[in-house]
Structure 1
Amino acid sequence: MKPQPQGYSLHIGVNAVDPNSYEGWDGRLDACENDAAVYRSIAEKAGYSSINTLLTEKATTANVLSHLKKAAGKLKSGDILLLTYSGHGGALVDSNNDEPDKQDETWCLYDRQLIDDELHDAFSKFKAGVRILVFSDSCHSGTVSRAPLEADTTSGRKSRLAPIRSLITTYNKHRAMYDSIQSQISTSPADIKAYVVQFGACQDNEEAMEADGNGLFTAKVKKVMKRPAPNYTSFLGAIRKDFDSGQHPHLHHYGNQTYNFLAQAPFVIHR
């Protein structure tokens, strides 16, 4: 009898970073751990067999990469990884010259920035036929050239864009470490045998915001899940409908497209 597909999920919520690793910046946010709980609840309802959460101090690069390594060894063709991140988005100088805009996108984890090259490398370890579903409620590197929007005290909205001054200072202080990480990785999305579908909270020239206990993007995901869309394309459309924040969630996909992941029902293990 053919084994049933399995689901492995990892939910990361970073309400603050270690100031010692970011040159005095603590990256204080309010709603990222709440977002992780939203995605964890979705995974529980969908019947994922292994559900894991890393919050703030536990959300280190070593812990995240360890989970991805474990999932890569465990999951087989037809299985699914759900990876969610809520926190600040940043960027680093592209020292290995694999980005057209000369910047690598990052997630600001507690101990340091996790570079998109590292995620691509981790994804490349997954077997062909594995589905990787990523939700990132964070800002993207396209906005790194300007300062974050000021917090709106009336609406309580706060930006998830890491300040450019802090990013530059941090990179200059820890340049040897970040450049060394990039120099050891040559993986590109074209090298990934799994199929990755990635949702982002905003476009590269926008900022992801949070208010009222959740990221605006995650709050909309939670609302849409009350009446789930039939596939990922319509799911994106439902999320974007009536979005009033000046941010436009997006979707992109890459890897080994041996079957139509986008046509499947969101978060479902059994295709």
Structure 2
Amino acid sequence: MARGTSLHIGLNRVDPNEYDGWDGKLIACENDARDMEQLARMAGIQDRTTLITADATVDNVTRELRMAARALSSGDLFLFSYSGHGGQIPDFTGPEDEPDRLDETMCLYDREYIDDELYQELGEFSEGVRIVCLLDCCHSGTGIKAVRDVLTPEALEEQFQTADPSEVETTSRIMPLDKQYEVYERDKVRYDAIQQHLKEGKDNRDLGATALLISACQDNQLAADGLRNGLFTGTLLQVWNGGDFTGDYRAFYREILRRMPANQSPNLLVTGRADSRFIRQQPFTV
């Protein structure tokens, strides 16, 4: 019998000591994580972990990912959800996997978690494991590759009712651009060392598991926060409807997309081992 494991991360703030005085205050990310854990429970996933704000550190996230990778085997399901700020840092190692020379990050409590770090951990899952990633943060279109294309004032006005960057930052899940630069400059040695270590460790193996990503927006878009849930997570929960949704993953994605505004368009990406049977399943089927 297949086994299901899930990890849900939600941060309403980060450690200002690690982010050059910025605390990244948000409203709905902790609710997102708890509601996604509830979804996992209702879907029959028995092994569930939720990391909220101060517990959502790099060490804790990495430990949980590695525990899941060791526990799961072919045919099992791993559900990963993240709600929080998204950022970017320069990819000094070269343009081979990031043509724009920028790596996407998730803003965990104690530092930014580079997209290549997540991809490396997913590479440790056994061949045939089904991985579902749900990312509710800015610039999350591909999850492991990002394009820095700042929205125009007109697009910001349409999505957030203001083009003032400071006001956009309070209603979206983007790490402010000035803080992205300042934090990287302050901790440049740290982040460059992480990237160098990741580059040296690459062995060009294909991902043995199948990873399916549904993200909150395209690479060049921002993800809106909310009072109860983020716009993406709230819409996803409405479509899933307590498990009453009966279509497959592609239909699930298309229905979420249909309900979202054009200036925040979720993305679907499948990578790793080809598994069309997985894609045709009802979402979150263990």
TM over 0.5, shorter chain? yes
**Pairing of 1:35-46 with structure 2 (within 5 A):** 35-46=32-43
Residue of 203, 207, 210 corresponding to 2:218: 203
Q: State the distance in 1 between where 2:194 and 2:80 align.
A: 22
Q: For structure 2, list consecutive stretches of 5 or more residues without a partner in the other structure.
A: 140-145, 163-169
CA contact (8 A) 2:151 2:221 kept: no
Q: CA deviation at 1:177?
A: 0.7
The number of residue pairs the alignment matches comes to: 264
State how far apart, in whole Å, the 1-side matches of 2:245 and 2:87 are. Answer: 31
CA drift of 1:242 comes to: 3.1
Aligned-partner Cα distance in 2 for 1:190–1:85:
26
Distance 1:8 1:147, change over 3 A: farther
- Structure 1 runs not aligned, ≥5 long: none
Q: Tell me which residue corresponds to 2:57.
A: 60
Distance 1:182 1:55 in 2: 26
Identity of matched residues, %: 42
Deviation at 1:243, TM superposition (A): 1.7
**What is the DSSP-based 3-state SS (H/G/I as helix, E as strand, rest coil) of the residue aligned with 2:259?**
coil
User: 8 Å contact 1:11–1:85 — kept in the other structure?
Assistant: yes
**2:250 match:** 233
SS of equivalent residue, structure 1 residue 35: helix
**Counterpart residue type for residue 142 of structure 1:** V
TM-score (structure 1 length as normaliser): 0.91
1:260–1:145 Cα change, 3 Å? same
Which residue matches 1:262?
279
Normalized against structure 2, the TM-score is what? 0.87
How big is the shift at 1:191? 2.7
TM-superposed deviation, 1:257: 1.2
Q: 2:208 & 2:247 partners in 1: Cα distance? A: 25
Q: Which consecutive aligned stretches of 4+ in structure 1 deviate over 3 angstroms post-superposition?
A: 141-153, 186-190
Native 8 Å contact 1:147 1:163 kept in 2: no
Residues 135-174 of structure 1 aligned to structure 2 (within 5 Å): 135-140=134-139, 141-143=146-148, 145=150, 158-174=171-187
Distance 1:266 1:133, change over 3 A: same
Residues 139 and 208 of structure 1 are in contact (CA less than 8 Å); yes or no, is this contact kept in structure 2? yes
Residue 230 of structure 1 and its aligned partner are, at CA, apart by 1.5
Deviations 1:190-212 (A, max 9, x none): 63111000011001111100223
Decide which structure has greater helix share: 2
The residue matched to 2:103 in structure 1 has which SS?
A: strand
